[in-house]
Amino acid sequence: MKWLKRIGVILIAVIAAGAGAGYWLLNDRPSLQPYEKLIMPPAANAPGEVRVSFLGVATLLIADGETAIMTDGYFSRPNLWQILFGEVSPDREAIAQGLQKAGVSRLAAVIPVHSHYDHAMDSPEVALRTGAVLIGSESSANIGRGWGMDETQIRLAKTGEPMQFGQFTVTLYPSRHAPAGFTGGEIGSPLKPPAGAFDYKEGASYAILVQHKGKSLLINGSAGFEPGALKDVRADVVFLGTGGIGNFNPQHEQDYWNETVRGAQAKRVIAIHWDDFMTTAPGAPPAPPSYLLGDRLMGSFDSMMAWLQANGEKDDIEIRLPAAWRPMDVWEGLQ
C-alpha cells in the first residue's frame, strides 16, 4: 500500500507541476512598457467633440456626447479550453460590466466587423441592452436571430451606402479576414448559443469609415483586405487590425498596409486586435498575447510593432497604441 501512496503523491506532484507550467506559459507575455510613449493620452470631455474608446480586441466606442456607435461590442472572454473543446456563449454579466465601465447606456448602432465569436457573439446582447440597431452581414443577422432579436432591430449592411446617426456618417466597405485557417464560411440559419466557437463563421468582413464634421477615421478589424475596395477612401486616422502580422506572407502584409493605410493617406495608425482575447479576464486591461499563443497563433507582438514602426517611418505616418477604456481624441496633434 505504501508504494501506491507514493505513486499517487508523485502523480499529484506531476499534475500540479504541469498545471503550473501551463499557467506560466499562457501568461508569460511581452511587456507594453517599451511602447508606453506610443499609447494615446486620455482626452478631456468636450461637448460635441468626438471621443473614441478602445475596449479590447476590435471593440471601439465612438461618441460625440449626443450619439454613440460601437463596433463589435465584444466583452465576453471564453477561455482557451472552451474555445478549443467546449462551447461559447455571451457572458451577460461581463457585457453589463463592460458597458457600465465604458459609460454606455444608449447606442445608435452596433456594427460587427465580421461574424467570428470574438467580434459578433456579444453584439446582439449589446444591442438589446442599449436600444441599438445591429448592422452587419446575413451571418451577423443570424447571430442576432439566434439570440432572440426582433427583425426590426436588425439591418443588413449595404456596402458603399452612407448611413446617418446624428452627426456621424458611417459607410461600410468590403474587406476580408486575415488569411488564417478559420477564414471564410457563412452562418446560414439562426445560431443559438451555447455553440462551438468555430460555428461563428466569418460571413462578410467590413472596413468602416466614420465621418464627423470634417473628421474621418477608418476601422479595419482584421489583417485582411479586399483589393481596390478602399481606393476612394481617405481618412486621417486608421484603426488597424494587426493580429497575426508576422505570421503571414510578407507580400500580403505589405499589400495590406498599402491598401488600408497608404491608400487612405492616413496621418496616424492606431493598432487594434493585437491583444489577448482568450486568457485575459473580462474587463481587464488589454495585454499582448502570451509568447506561446502569440508566436504560434496570433503573431509575435514585438514583431508586429516592429513592422508597424518600420512602415510608419518609411511613409511618415505616426504609429500609436490605444489607451484602454479611456476616451481619446484620436486626431489630437494632427495637422
pLDDT digits (tens, 9 = 90+) for 55-83: 999 999 999 999 999 999 999 999 889 99
Strand partners of residue 154: 134
Ranges of beta strands (E only) in the chain are 51-54, 60-63, 68-71, 109-111, 133-136, 154-156, 163-165, 168-175, 205-212, 215-220, 237-241, 268-272, 318-320
pLDDT band at residue 9, thresholds of 50, 70 and 90?
A: very low
pLDDT digits (tens, 9 = 90+) for 198-231: 999 999 999 999 999 999 999 999 999 999 999 9
Residue 298 has pLDDT above 80, yes or no: no
Whole-angstrom distance, CA of residue 101 vs CA of residue 272: 19
Task: Out of 3.40.50.300, 1.10.3720.10, 3.10.620.30, 3.60.15.10, select the CATH number for domain 31-320.
Answer: 3.60.15.10
246 or 195: whose pLDDT is higher?
195
Q: What pLDDT score was predicted for residue 294?
A: 53
Are 54 and 272 contacting, i.e. CB atoms less than 8 angstroms apart? yes
pLDDT band at residue 11, thresholds of 50, 70 and 90?
A: very low
pLDDT band at residue 283, thresholds of 50, 70 and 90?
A: confident
pLDDT digits (tens, 9 = 90+) for 38-47: 999 999 888 8
pLDDT digits (tens, 9 = 90+) for 311-328: 999 999 999 999 999 999
Integer angstrom CA distances of residue 92 from 88, 98, 123, 244: 12, 10, 11, 29
Q: What is the CA radius of gyration of the chain?
A: 20
DSSP string, 72-108: --------HHHHHHS-B---HHHHHHHHHHHT-S--S
Domain chopping of the chain, boundaries: 31-320
Are 51 and 63 contacting, i.e. CB atoms less than 8 angstroms apart? yes
Q: How many residues does the chain have?
A: 335
Task: Give the burial class of 252: count Cβ atoms within 10 A of its Cβ; 0-12 exposed, 13-18 middle, 19 or more buried.
Answer: middle
Q: Mean pLDDT in the chain?
A: 90
Amino acid at 87: E
pLDDT band at residue 296, thresholds of 50, 70 and 90?
A: low
Cell of residue 206, nine digits: 467590413
Whole-angstrom distance, CA of residue 117 vs CA of residue 99: 18
pLDDT band at residue 27, thresholds of 50, 70 and 90?
A: low
Residue 33 has pLDDT above 60, yes or no: yes
Q: What pLDDT score was predicted for residue 220?
A: 98
